Amino acid sequence: MSLTFVVSPGGHLTGRIRVPGDKSISHRSIMFGSIAEGTTRVKGFLEGEDNLATLNAFRAMGVEIDGPLNGEVTIHGVGMHGLRAPTEPLYMGNSGTSIRLLSGLMSAQQFDVEMTGDSSLSKRPMRRVTAPLAEMGAEILTEKDGTPPLKVQGGKSLNGLHYDMPMASAQVKSCLLLAGLYAEGETCVTEPAPTRDHTERMLRGFGYDVRTENNRICLTGGGKLTATDIDVPADISSATFFMIGAAISEGSDITLEHVGINPTRIGVINILRLMGAELTLENECEVGGEPVADIRVRGSKLKGIQIPEEQVPLAIDEFPALFVAAACAEGETVLTGAHELRVKESDRIQVMADGLQALGVNAQPTDDGMIIQGGTIGSGTVESHDDHRIAMSFAMAALRATGPITIKNCETVGTSFPGFAALSRDAGLRVEQQGG
């Protein structure tokens, strides 16, 4: 049965809460821990469906993994060449990170493997990883339009590649670096703009030499990973919904604890500050090579802005929620340079524009962004298109709506934020669930 959110208007967000662990770091902890030598212990692991898809994939390839239990996972690494052929296709669910990063890792194994996903993942483009992997010597079969399922041929020898990425993408960068671990010679990836660098940071944490110079990241194949302990900070993408909910609602004062503030992920903080949000960072420190802080946000009057294009890769997953902030701001907000949003779990430009228009907001989609006139958010029904970030963004919009907002097909919220509705209610959002 499909899950529907019905969110009553008004209210505000208060208190101190901790959102679930960072999804990107949780994925990588399983991947790197599995091919490391020794035992890796993880705290703060996000027990969402996407991360569990990664965990189950490595279990299917012979890795012994204890947990997750209360965010703790113990991974008994098998080394760089210890993975075994799975007995059936690896199911990646809704996770683009899982299938794209594993494309690089699977390309270097001695066995064949097939990777599949749900209906949404099966529509997402994979040539952005399969084409450069083919240049390295990999052989991966896709559907005619370049979409999953992916059939990776084992036993291929990979050669290092110097690759200039046509579009900024942490998933493509990470995929090629993972293949490069096994390749002959040096693999270098040059980014057109900075993207999240969790892969580089974590590889160094596992003792692997990764060299970064400006926008060029290099490593040499043939090394090994050594097990380590990982403390996963709270996910800034999940914290974003509460940051924006608080910023748009008068009387809000919420503190989000122990949030990862990696410099490649803080576009949402920078953009909200440009819009006039009252946002402060407290208790800043570094945990396991990742900077963290408590983020305090109070209700404030936002203003529309031209979003700087250099901030776009640093906030690419946060734009559905930022569109809601723009709808509540005074004046016009313009986003450009964000074509990547059209090939996420949904076409996030079109889907958000459709939903905002259904609520009476003047939101005009463009090829690579949106133009939003701030004003009143009305009542109505919106379709999430099975996209977790769409669903949670419209839930927060109800804080400023004139009437209830009904959001359909919200079951994918569990992929990144299990317990979202309950935590939101604790903070002051008037959300109820139907079905599911």
First to last CA, the chain: 5
- Percent pLDDT > 90 in the chain is 96
The span from the CA of 424 to the CA of 241, in Å, is: 9
Residues with catalytic annotation? Answer: 317
**Burial class of residue 404 (count of CB atoms within 10 Å of its CB; 0-12, 13-18, 19+):** middle
pLDDT for 416 beyond 80: yes
DSSP 8-state assignment for residue 10: -
Mean pLDDT along residues 165-191: 96
- Percent pLDDT > 70 in the chain is 100
Report H helices in 264-359: 267-274, 319-328, 348-358
pLDDT for 415 beyond 90: no
Residues 6+ apart with CB under 8 A from 10: 398, 399, 430
**Which pLDDT does position 288 carry in this prediction?**
79
CB 252 within 8 A of CB 245: yes
Tokens representing 275 are: 């819009």
* The residue to which tokens 């043939």 are assigned: 222
pLDDT for 134 beyond 80: yes
Tell me the three-class secondary structure of 66-112, residue by residue: EEEECCEEEEECCCCCCCCCCCCCEECCCCHHHHHHHHHHHCCCCCC
- DSSP element (H, E) containing 255: strand 253-260
How many CA atoms lie less than 13 Å away from 233 in the CB half-sphere?
A: 25
The pLDDT tens digits of the residues spanning 365-409 come to 999 999 999 999 999 999 999 999 999 999 999 999 999 999 999
The pLDDT tens digits of the residues spanning 37-67 come to 999 999 999 999 999 999 999 999 999 999 9
**Which pLDDT does position 436 carry in this prediction?**
77
Nearest to 356 by CA among 389, 317, 320: 320
How many CA atoms lie less than 13 Å away from 121 in the CB half-sphere?
A: 21
SS3 88: coil
The pLDDT tens digits of the residues spanning 215-229 come to 999 999 999 999 999
**C-alpha pair distances (Å), 44 with each of 23, 26, 49, 67, 74:** 10, 8, 15, 12, 12
CB 184 within 8 A of CB 221: yes
Mean pLDDT along residues 267-272: 98
Mean pLDDT along residues 320-336: 98
The pLDDT tens digits of the residues spanning 270-295 come to 999 999 999 999 999 998 789 999 99
Tell me the three-class secondary structure of 172-187, residue by residue: HHHHHHHHHCCCECEE
Tokens representing 68 are: 């997750």
- Domains in the chain, CATH or no CATH each: 3-21+233-435 (3.65.10.10), 23-231 (3.65.10.10)
Report H helices in 89-228: 96-106, 127-136, 170-180, 198-205
Side chain identity, residue 227: A
Angle formed at CA 299 by CA 356 and CA 256, multiple of 5 degrees: 95
pLDDT for 245 beyond 80: yes
- DSSP element (H, E) containing 214: none
* The residue to which tokens 């293949």 are assigned: 179
The span from the CA of 76 to the CA of 78, in Å, is: 7
The pLDDT tens digits of the residues spanning 186-216 come to 999 999 999 999 999 999 999 999 999 999 9
